[in-house]
Amino acid sequence: MVEEVERPARAGLPATLSGVGTKAESIAEIDISQVPRTTSGSVETDRVLGGGIVSGSLVLVGGDPGIGKSTVLLQTSHQLALQGYVVLYVSGEESAQQIRLRAERLRAVSPNLFILAETDLTQIELQIEAVKPDFLVIDSIQTVYHPAVGSTPGSVGQVRECTGHLLRIAKTSGIATFIVGHVTKEGAIAGPRLLEHMVDAVLYFEGERHHTYRILRAVKNRFGSTNEIGIFEMEEAGLREVENPSELFLSERSKGVPGSAVVAALEGTRPILVEIQALVSPTTFGNPRRQATGLDHNRVSMMLAVLEKRSGLFVGSQDAYVNVAGGVRLDEPAVDLGVAVAIASSFKDQGVSPNDVFIGEVGLAGEIRGVSRIEQRVKEIQKLGFSRCFIPSRNLRGWTPPAGIELIGVDSIQQAFEIVFRG
């Protein structure tokens, strides 16, 4: 139950959020030339946003405490200020002096970047009218309150009302707005689910505190794809873009160790090479343990069943632990073959050639099914110096592979195992 105060309807608001009236138009006649995109100064951020920041958009950024949300937004604000845009950074959690100290460390001091330490939304609106920014950052929405709403900051009513005010400001004035949202212990944005429906884009900043890399992922985007990710590395002077994430994820790989296989996954339009690690050992309990990190647990359990039924690997009495090295999460089925090879390698205690990469979806009959965008995956494999790649047989047709790499088409996991583990 949420207590709300009934207030009279506000007069003078536009008929629609965009203020363009209510006349119906043919979709073929709607002019989209007036929807420009502004580069954020970061290739990774622009990729996730769909090509840049859209004027008048409202973007929600979430992530665990201390993961780097304020850092990435302060650096983005600085890059926009360097392009001549006026940016207003509103913080309800830090003082202006604290933000200046962090900006000094990040080398993000610019005369076009204005700082405001305020939580009262009416005062924030007055400063927006005075500064007339091109971009607005609210850090965070759970600390902002509207005096007309009789509840505490961070409550459902306050978050909904404040976000509604910011949405109207963004749409009517064309100010691109970023708001930071706290997350619950389950990892979801705190507050009403309506918050994610109101905004134009929802970005999650992910990563482990004890790792240096961070991943910016879009889970909702009205202006682009939700399959793209941006990868950053946390350094002393802030976040640095990772131009070649495959090298980052394979930098600490141990070659020739049983239970390791390299796969070529696809995140949006970007191919990424990562290492799949598996550890299979006899169980000491009645029920063997099945643990997956970075992969779907049910998918790994299915893979173990297929290996036992179709390949004769008796893993029913074995504990199985499967991990994606580096902490990245893989959701596409094209990594199935790599997972199966890593599990079989650990079970047989036989290493895989360090020059092999595996691509393919595994079906319940043990067949290897075709995958999409095989050309981009193979080009990334060849660029990183791998000499052999196992792919589905059907993906061998219809294109010319690059020179210097051997492609082996396989129809079943048993056929792949015979080639990988022969001798």
Closest CA to 201 of 226, 235, 236: 226
CATH of domain 248-420: 3.30.230.10
> Is 338 part of any known ligand binding site?
no
Instruction: Report pLDDT digits (tens) over 57-91.
Output: 999 999 888 888 999 999 999 999 999 999 999 99
> Is 14 part of any known ligand binding site?
no
E runs forming strands in 171-269: 176-181, 201-206, 213-221, 229-235, 238-241, 260-267
Residue at token pair 């893989």: 330
pLDDT at 167 over 70: yes
* pLDDT given at position 249: 81
Dist CA 178 CA 193 (whole Å): 18
> Is 64 part of any known ligand binding site?
yes
What's the gap between Cα 40 and its chain centre? 17
Q: What percent of the chain has pLDDT over 90?
A: 61
Task: Say if CB 172 and CB 55 are below 8 A apart.
Answer: no
Mean pLDDT of the chain: 88
* pLDDT given at position 36: 77
Question: What residue ranges of the chain are covered by domains with CATH 3.30.230.10?
Answer: 248-420
CATH of domain 36-243: 3.40.50.300
Dist CA 178 CA 166 (whole Å): 10
Closest CA to 110 of 125, 99, 120, 98: 99
> Is 391 part of any known ligand binding site?
no
Question: What residue ranges of the chain are covered by domains with CATH 3.40.50.300?
Answer: 36-243
pLDDT at 4 over 70: no
Rg for the chain, CA atoms, rounded: 25
Q: What is the mean pLDDT of residues 120-138?
A: 95
* pLDDT given at position 34: 63
> Is 8 part of any known ligand binding site?
no
> Is 41 part of any known ligand binding site?
no
Banded pLDDT at 9 (limits 50, 70, 90): low
Instruction: Report pLDDT digits (tens) over 323-378.
Output: 998 778 888 899 999 999 999 999 999 999 999 999 999 999 999 999 999 999 99
